[in-house]
Amino acid sequence: MDDLVSRLRTLNFMGPWKEAADVIEDLEEKLRMINQWQPIETAPKDNTPLLLYNKIDDGLHYIEVGYWETYLCWSGPIPEEGPGWQWNYIGIDPTHWMHIPLEPK
């Protein structure tokens, strides 16, 4: 992609070529962000399924699909009223999130 952007920028045309290069660079940046772990504070809180992560003191890495639950969440042995992260690791809050990758072809 970098080669394509460079070639578009060297065409010495403004207008559509420059705009195309800008769009490609913007999309590349968004793709890089999608494929990286992000701090949990930046995660969408609209019930979107996400990969959630936490590394506990025992050295184990916890990764699972989960989502932000607005009304009822499992943050202990019984459901509690109120918002929170819905995933199987009860009593452990995720520290990072990532979009779920595309399924294999």
Q: Report pLDDT digits (tens) over 15-71.
A: 676 777 777 777 777 777 677 899 999 999 888 889 999 987 778 888 889 888 876
Provide the residue range defining the domain that includes 91.
39-99
Same domain, 12 and 56: no
The answer to whether 68 and 43 have CB atoms below 8 angstroms apart is: yes
Predicted confidence at residue 39, as pLDDT, reads 94
Tell me if the pTM is above 0.85: no
- Are 14 and 46 found together in one domain? no
Q: Is residue 104 domain-resident? A: no
Q: Which residue has the higher pLDDT, 42 or 87?
A: 42
Sign of torsion, CA 5 21 99 95? positive
Kindly tell me if the per-residue pLDDT of 75 is higher than 50: no
Classify residue 19: in a domain, yes or no: yes
Residues 93 and 52 in one domain: yes
Q: Are 12 and 27 members of one domain? A: yes
Domains identified in the chain, total number:
2
Whether residues 16 and 43 share a domain: the answer is no
CA angle (83 as vertex; 98, 85 as ends), nearest 5: 30
Give the Cα separation of 91 and 80 in Å (integer): 12
Residues 52 and 9 in one domain: no
Residues 45, 69 within the same domain: yes
Residue 103 has pLDDT above 60, yes or no: yes
